[in-house]
Structure 1
Amino acid sequence: MKILAVPGSLSEQSTTHMAVAIVAEAARKMGAEVEVFDLRKDPLPIYDGRVDEASYPETVRLFKQKMAEADGFIFASPEYHGSISGVLKNALDFIGARELEGKWVALLGTAGGAMGATNTLNTLNTICRSLHAWPLPSMPSVPQSYMAFNSDGTLKDEKLQQRLEDLGTSLVKMIQLYGAELRINTKG
């Protein structure tokens, strides 16, 4: 089982990447192969809807290929101005229902404020449903993420740590239980 994680942060000290690492490790413990597509190392150009996709850099083809091959996903974003990061939105603009339809997605948000990343998670949920994916109902958020982590990468809040671990475990269980692809009957 292949899971692709896409953290939507370019920060070198990214708490979003740290949170994704917790979810990914829990999924690996369940037997999944988890790869992180790091937009810091493999940046994508700004999506412009061009007809000739071959004119995009190789990273776009690689990203789309990895998205198509994945059985499930972990999408995470810091909350920027009440929504998802521009880099994650841009990455998701390159893909469509062809890559996501019927696949399970774990959603995760981080925020500098005490309220957490509720708007970010709602936006990610809407995007995933628009692309016919199955977002998991649990969507944890790490509030005040700049001070939420221990030096070893775990969360100071043990209950929140467990929620992130449970998210990775649940993603693997749903893929195992319902298969990698659960197509939606659009013929009504």
Structure 2
Amino acid sequence: MKLTIVSGSQRANSQSLNVARFLKQHALQEFDQVEILDLHELNLPFWNEGVWQGSQEWDVWTPIAQKLKESDAFVFITPEWHGMATPVLKNFLLLTTANELAHKPALLVSVSVSINGVYPISELRMTGSKNNHVCFLPDHLIVRNSDKLIDQDAHSDDSDFVARTQYTLKLLSCYASALAPVHQDMLPLGKPFTYGM
């Protein structure tokens, strides 16, 4: 199975990217392939109608969409900025469609250098899956005091946090196995209902 981890920070060498590297190390126990997409590095244009018309500006999206189609599960990581998820992660979710994400599981991860981190999870749960139909796990991870919890080598000495991480990634793997036939069967049937009711 293939996992795609999306680091949703606009900053270079961000805490979110470090968390992505930490999660990748542990995810390799559950997934055959793990790839990190760094939204800072990708520097995608902000959504516009051209993405639907295949304008040249959106040629950059085609290989990313293909990678997402080939993935069985996802991790979406966002730092908490002013109590919100980042613009680049919300833009990324605007660009995704059911073709890439529908009925596949995703783990939400929020990163805070303090003791916060709850609000981005709530925000993403409320709107992040409306049109792409991704299935957020009931569990999530909040990485508090991230600069102390995970070192620059993407390692943590906090055994409780490591155990929680491993449990959550195992859950993600189980959901990926269980939902694979749902994605296959329901994707074509759901085409008339892309935007809900």
Length-normalised TM-score, structure 2? 0.82
Q: Which residue of 1 aligns with 2:47?
A: 47
Structure 1 residue 57, shift from structure 2 partner? 4.1
Q: Which residue of 2 aligns with 1:134?
A: 135
Structure 1 residue 89, shift from structure 2 partner? 1.1
Structure 1 residue 80, shift from structure 2 partner? 0.9
Conserved? CA contact 1:110–1:142, under 8 Å: yes
Q: Which residue of 1 aligns with 2:125?
A: 125
* Structure 2: distance between partners of 1:89 and 1:124: 8
Conserved? CA contact 1:22–1:165, under 8 Å: no
Q: By percentage of residues, which structure has more helix?
A: 2
Q: Which residue of 1 aligns with 2:2?
A: 2
Q: Which residue of 2 aligns with 1:85?
A: 86
* Structure 2: distance between partners of 1:33 and 1:68: 14
Conserved? CA contact 1:79–1:110, under 8 Å: yes
Q: Which residue of 1 aligns with 2:106?
A: 105
Q: Which residue of 2 aligns with 1:160?
A: 161
Q: Which residue of 1 aligns with 2:29?
A: 29
Judge which range, 84-93 or 149-158, deviates more: 149-158
How many residues align structurally? 187
Structure 1 residue 140, shift from structure 2 partner? 0.9
* Structure 2: distance between partners of 1:151 and 1:37: 19
Conserved? CA contact 1:19–1:164, under 8 Å: no
Conserved? CA contact 1:103–1:180, under 8 Å: no
Structure 1 residue 93, shift from structure 2 partner? 1.3
Q: Does 1:71 align with 2:72?
A: yes
* Structure 2: distance between partners of 1:12 and 1:142: 19
Structure 1 residue 151, shift from structure 2 partner? 4.3
Conserved? CA contact 2:101–2:133, under 8 Å: yes
Alignment RMSD: 2.4
Structure 1 residue 61, shift from structure 2 partner? 1.3
Structure 2 segments unaligned to the other structure (5+ residues):
none
Judge which range, 29-38 or 48-57, deviates more: 48-57
Judge which range, 41-50 or 99-108, deviates more: 41-50
* Structure 2: distance between partners of 1:118 and 1:105: 17
Judge which range, 63-72 or 177-186, deviates more: 177-186
- Report % sequence identity: 23
Q: Which residue of 1 aligns with 2:63?
A: 62
Conserved? CA contact 1:128–1:134, under 8 Å: no
Structure 1 residue 23, shift from structure 2 partner? 2.3
The aligned amino acid for 2:102 is E
Conserved? CA contact 1:2–1:71, under 8 Å: yes
